[in-house]
Structure formats: C-alpha cells, structure tokens
Amino acid sequence: MKQFFLSCAVLLTAALCAAAAPEPDYKGLTEKNHPRLFLDAAAFKQIRKDVAKGANPNLTIIHEQMMQQADKGKEGKPLVYQKDASGRRILTISRRALQRIPAQAYAYRMTGDKAYLEQVEDDLLTVCAFPDWNPTHFLDVAEMVTAVAIGYDWLYRDLSPRTRETVWEKISEFAFAPGKEKKYTKWLGGINNWNQVCNGGLVCAALATWERDPETARFLVERAIPSNRHAMEEMYAPDGAYPEGPGYWGYGTSFQVLLISALESVLGTDFGLSEVPGFSRTGHYIAHTAGPSGYQFNYSDCGRRAGAHPCLWYFAARFNDPGIVRNELWHIQNGRYRGDRTLFLAVRYAAQIKDKELPAPKENIYAAQGITPQFIGRTGWEREDLFVAVKGGSAYTNHAHMDAGEFVYDAYGIRWAMDYGNPPYAKLEVWLKPYKESLFSRKQEGRRWQFFPYNNRQHNTLTVNDKDHKINGRALLVEHFNDAERGIGAVIDFGDTFYDDLRSAVRTVRICEKSYLEVSDAIATKPGVPARVRWSMVTEARPERTPEGILLTKGKVKMLLHTEGQAVDYRIWEANMDTYGPAPEIVDPVCKGTWIVGYETEIPGGSSVSLSTTLRRRK
C-alpha cells in the first residue's frame, strides 16, 4: 500500500509539472531560423566574445577541447558502413560521426575556417550515401541522426543546396520513416537508456528540420514527451540513482539532457521533463559514484574508471549546484573530454558557470531508493579519504549482474574491493550465437550468468550452497547512517536473493572511526536446512593467507582481511575464466592481475550467526 501511494504521488507530481510547463512556441521554426539547436547565432557570437576575453575559465577550457576534437576529426578515418563482430550494429560508426560533425561545425562557426565546413559536408554526404542507418538496432539511427541534424542546423546557410537536400531526404528516409514503424520502436515503452537515446535523437532531428515536414516533426516531438516522461519517472525517482549503473547513466542521461536542451532551446519549454522526481538529484548520484581512487561504483554493465560527463554542466547550471562538476575540471585537464561525442552540451551550460574555484559537493553521503537502491559514503573528497558504496536491487534489471549486496571500497587512494569491468558485447554475442541465446536474456538458466563478471561468485557478495542468485530476487536498502557512534554506512536486506536456502540475510557495510571497513552479515538458516556460505571480495591487491586472515598488499600499503563470529576457512580463488566459465579468450583480460579472496563457512540449520569482516591497514 505504501508503494502504491508513492507511485501515485510520483505520477501526480509529474502531471502537475507537465501542466505548469510553458506552452511550446512553434512559430519560429522557419527556414530563416537556423541555427537553433542548443545554440543560436547570438549564443555562438557571445561564446566567441567570452572566449576571446578569457572571461570564463570553464567555458574557455571546454572550447579548447572542442577545437582539439574538431582538429582530430579532420585527420580521422573515413566513415565506412561496417557492422561489428556480432553483425548487429554500426554503432561505432554512428558514434564516430557524432564525435566529428558537431565539433567541426562548432569550429567553423567559431573560426570561419572553411576546412571545417568542407569536412562536415564530406562526412554528411558520406553517411547519407550509406544503405541505411541500421534501424534494426535503433541506437545506431539515433546517434547518427543526432550528428547529421546538428551539422545540418548549425551550418544550414553554409552547406550547399545539394547537401541540404540530400541530408533532409536521408533524415526522412533513414530516421523518420523507421522511427514511425512499430517493429523498430519497441523502445517507446522501455524504461532504459534506449528510450532516452532514441527519443532524443529523433526529437533533435525533428526540431532541426521542422519546416520541411511540420506534421511528422510535431508527431515525433509530441509522441516523445509521454514516452520519455514515463521512463524518467521510473528510472530517476525518487532520489536520482540510475538502475543500469553509472556507465549507462552517462549514456542515457547525456541523451536525456540532449532531449531537454533541444526542446528548451528551440521551443522554449522542456514540457516539465526536468521537474520529474529525482532528476534534480541525479547529478549528485553520478558525482558520488566516483571514488578517490579514480574508479567508480561500477555495478551492472559498467567500466571501472570514473567517466567524464559533459552533461553534468547542465545539472550544475540548471539546479545552481556547481560542486557536482568539480571532478569534471580534473577530467578536462587530464584529457578525458577529448573525443567525447556529447561535449557540445557542455558549451551551452559552462557559459553559465563562472566560478573560478569550484567547491566540493556539500554532502559526503548519498542514499537512494528506487529500482536499484544503494548507498555511497566517504570521509571527504580528497584522494586519501575513505570511500564505500553498497547496493541492493535485482539481477532482473536491465544490464544488471548477480550482485545484490555488492560493495566497493577505497582507502589511501587505492581500490581494495573492486568490481570487474565489462567485456565487449559483440565478442560475447559471437560466442553465444550457436546457442541462439541473447546476451541480455533474463532467464535463470541463461548463459549470460556463466560469463565471469556477471555471476555472484565473482562479486563482493554472498553465495549460498553454491547457487546462483535468484534472478528476480530483490535486495532492499533498509537503513543508512552517518554518525560518530556507527560511522558511515548502510544496511541491505537480501530478501529472497537466496531462494529458500536461508530464513534471512542482512548485510551492514560501514566505515568505522574514519579508519577501516566493516562488513557484517547476519544470517539465519531454516530448521533442518544447513547452509554453506561463501563470502567473496574481488581485489587487485596481492593476497597472502596468514593465521589472522588474508593480508593484502598494494604498493606500499598493506591491509588485513579478518573475520569474527564463527570459524571460517579463508580462501583465495583463482580469478580466471578457465576456472569459472566459457570464452576465456574474451574475458581473461578483464580479470588479469586480480584475485578473489574471502572465506567459506558452514551454518547449521535452525541457527543464527553474525559474521563481522574487517579490512584494516597494517604497518
């Protein structure tokens, strides 16, 4: 009943926000009104002035990155229609086009150098000569049409009439036509990044070409709003955490911001999308997922290294919260923005943030309910600070792993408890092809769960009676805290993750006394049903068994993993695919130089135990 009333409140709030949004202004969508996506002629002129004066250091450094990206694009390989190893995607080519075309269109508007214009025109004609933009994998269409629409709009008056006509024809044929067919648009009802990317790309193109076919353009815009709002309500509410992890947050939310920014810049309204519950907090979510080690809380299909997110400048400007882009300056200064295909989004919003010294975020903890509940806490925002993150959720969620109860831990600039990065999809799909099974199957016995990084045995969680986690089981965040007595941490109830093998399992993960990590597992077995419990933690630190536990060494720092509560058998498991699953040649690079450490213990039926595992520094 409580969940019912929460859902009603979310829907009512969204409806009120939509009702309060300004009415869209379609009158200015004429041939004379280009450019209009994200930046109009006046905005480009103002950016040139501000950069020349050096009035805004944030804008200047992003402008320089855009110019470098444009120069790199001029030297890049030709765009060639080629599917990946799985035969499913041309997404790499679409992304390369999105890297190049907006950057070089921007460079031409900033400098007037016709070499940029010629390269954009060549790229536009090249991709328009493709046989299609691969509508069976509509992400490919969405990213390609975004690139083409921006090039068309920003350089409308400078492109040759032939190029303009060709581009319009192919946008209509390769994007709008399949974008109106049911067989290609299942993503309209999706609650995932596909909804954001595909709606974003089509809306961007519809607004850029509005006067060519107002009826189709209006249909695509007005169809996108309820479709996208529904996805946002599910994905960001109530606290902004992203169900698919920070890697897909970067993808989905970049296109969410693209969609919102396109609507605002062209129609003067985002139809209330930015007011959806949780969206104003999602910038905090991604800022907090980055640990002091430089690695992120990479649950689900997500790379390890904390990513650069140009779209964060939107959140900093829109919600007057400059602290969340503090790490973005580090990314820029270390070249992490180079090649980012949505860098153009940062230009619009960095121009609004003039702080020379960006503060750290005000909060040291972040807690979120929602599809993937989680907690992230730290002792501070400097490299030597301690950082912990823990999650609940379900393996049934899109892109999820069997990782309920997963935690990661940083201390002294090192990640001690880690999550594996994600193997390349295309190669895994090739391996699966003879079985006629999808890599993204949500079946309990699906081969997805045989791949090394996806199974619970290769995560920092519990395994009971050597079973996979229950795929549609769900672990809950039941409490979090930040006080002198208990430290910084949270409580996760595993729920039905372990089928009927346990009566209950509750995990508490916390930083104690701002100096060490404690993971406590309260486990209760059913009468007459004993349980063999495996506690595992993945690490890059070199392990050594000692009488006290497992000594971990990374560089000059040593940490002791020690468990109390009952007798345990400390273990160091091999971290390689030959031991744990198929296709070792694909996934071995992911686990190279890592170990899985922990323990196994027997818990009699009808009993309750509390096992406390600490990770403390040793001199």
The separation between the first and the last C-alpha atoms of the chain, rounded to the nearest angstrom, is 53
* 481 C-beta neighbours (distance < 10 Å), count: 17
φ and ψ of 76, to 5 deg: -75, 170
Tell which of 317, 350, 383 closes a domain.
350
More confident residue, 319 or 338: 319
Q: pLDDT category, 500, cuts 50, 70, 90?
A: confident
Residue 129, SS3? Answer: coil
* Same domain flag for 322 and 407: no
Range of lowest pLDDT (115-119, 229-233, 350-354, 460-464) = 350-354
Query: Using CA atoms, how far apart are residues 120 and 116, in angstroms rounded to an integer?
Result: 6
227 touches 168 (CB < 8 A): no
Range of lowest pLDDT (58-67, 165-174, 426-435, 461-470) = 426-435
Residue 32 in any domain: the answer is no
462 touches 535 (CB < 8 A): yes
Name the nearest CA neighbour of 601 among 546, 525, 541, 494.
525
Overall average pLDDT of the 65-86 stretch: 90
* pLDDT at position 13: 46
* pLDDT at position 270: 97
Amino acid (1-letter code) at residue 537: M
Q: pLDDT category, 1, cuts 50, 70, 90?
A: very low
Query: Using CA atoms, how far apart are residues 369 and 476, in angstroms rounded to an integer?
Result: 8
Residue 585 has pLDDT above 50, yes or no: yes
* pLDDT at position 329: 82
Residue 30 in any domain: the answer is no
* Same domain flag for 454 and 524: yes
Question: What ranges in 412-532 are assigned the alpha helix state H?
Answer: 425-432
% of the chain surpassing 70 pLDDT: 95
* Same domain flag for 292 and 391: no
| Model pLDDT for residues 541-552, shown as the tens digit of each residue | 999 999 999 999
* pLDDT at position 193: 97
129 touches 135 (CB < 8 A): no
Residue 192 in any domain: the answer is yes
Residue 314 in any domain: the answer is yes
Q: pLDDT category, 355, cuts 50, 70, 90?
A: confident
Residue 11 has pLDDT above 60, yes or no: no
Residue 15 has pLDDT above 70, yes or no: no
Tell which of 297, 327, 350 closes a domain.
350
Tell which of 318, 350, 382 closes a domain.
350
* Averaged confidence pLDDT in the chain: 92
Q: What is the CATH number of the domain that holds 543?
A: 2.70.98.70
Residue 400 in any domain: the answer is yes
* pLDDT at position 581: 57
Based on C-alpha coordinates, what's the Rg of the chain?
A: 25
Query: Using CA atoms, how far apart are residues 99 and 337, in angstroms rounded to an integer?
Result: 11
Q: pLDDT category, 8, cuts 50, 70, 90?
A: very low
Query: Using CA atoms, how far apart are residues 604 and 530, in angstroms rounded to an integer?
Result: 4
Q: What is the CATH number of the domain that holds 107?
A: 1.50.10.100
Range of lowest pLDDT (19-23, 47-51, 276-280) = 19-23
Residue 268 in any domain: the answer is yes
Q: What is the pTM of this model?
A: 0.92
Q: pLDDT category, 7, cuts 50, 70, 90?
A: very low
* pLDDT at position 584: 63
Query: Using CA atoms, how far apart are residues 345 and 315, in angstroms rounded to an integer?
Result: 11
Q: pLDDT category, 605, cuts 50, 70, 90?
A: very high
* Same domain flag for 566 and 537: yes
* Same domain flag for 433 and 293: no
| CA distances from residue 436 to 13, 17, 106, 534 in whole angstroms, order as listed | 44, 45, 45, 33
Residue 6 has pLDDT above 50, yes or no: no
Residue 10 in any domain: the answer is yes
Residue 2 has pLDDT above 70, yes or no: no
Query: Using CA atoms, how far apart are residues 565 and 178, in angstroms rounded to an integer?
Result: 61
* pLDDT at position 527: 96
Q: State the DSSP code for 79.
A: P
DSSP letter string over 160-201? -HHHHHHHHHHIIIIIITGGG-GGG-GGGG--SHHHHHHHHH
Query: Using CA atoms, how far apart are residues 342 and 526, in angstroms rounded to an integer?
Result: 53
Q: Which residue has the tokens 């790490």?
A: 327
Range of lowest pLDDT (145-154, 163-172, 437-446, 524-533) = 437-446
What length does the chain have?
Answer: 619
Q: What is the 3-state secondary structure (H, E, C) of 17-68?
A: HHHHCCCCCCCCCCCCCCCCCCCCHHHHHHHHHHHHHCCCHHHHHHHHHHHH
> What residues contact 262, with CB distance under 8 A and at least 6 apart?
37, 38, 200, 203, 204, 207
Name the nearest CA neighbour of 209 among 237, 167, 243, 173.
167
How many separate domains does the chain show?
2
Range of lowest pLDDT (249-263, 450-464, 585-599) = 585-599
Query: Using CA atoms, how far apart are residues 198 and 258, in angstroms rounded to an integer?
Result: 11
* Same domain flag for 317 and 250: yes
* Same domain flag for 299 and 375: no
* pLDDT at position 337: 80
> What residues contact 572, with CB distance under 8 A and at least 6 apart?
543, 545, 550, 595, 596, 597
For residue 32, the number of C-alpha atoms closer than 13 Å in the C-beta half-sphere is 2
> What residues contact 87, with CB distance under 8 A and at least 6 apart?
none
Angle between helices 246-267 and 193-208 (to 10 degrees): 30
Query: Using CA atoms, how far apart are residues 169 and 429, in angstroms rounded to an integer?
Result: 34
* Same domain flag for 369 and 467: yes
* Same domain flag for 431 and 530: yes
Amino acid (1-letter code) at residue 532: R
Overall average pLDDT of the 262-281 stretch: 97
* Same domain flag for 281 and 339: yes
Residue 73 has pLDDT above 60, yes or no: yes
Residue 594 has pLDDT above 60, yes or no: yes
Query: Using CA atoms, how far apart are residues 134 and 59, in angstroms rounded to an integer?
Result: 36
* Same domain flag for 523 and 414: yes
* CA angle, residues 300, 428, 425, in degrees to nearest 5: 50
* pLDDT at position 364: 96
Q: pLDDT category, 587, cuts 50, 70, 90?
A: low
* Same domain flag for 343 and 452: no
| Domain that includes residue 500, residue range | 365-618
* pLDDT at position 25: 84
Question: What ranges in 129-279 are assigned the alpha helix state H?
Answer: 138-154, 161-170, 193-208, 214-236, 246-267
Overall average pLDDT of the 208-215 stretch: 98
Residue 29 in any domain: the answer is no
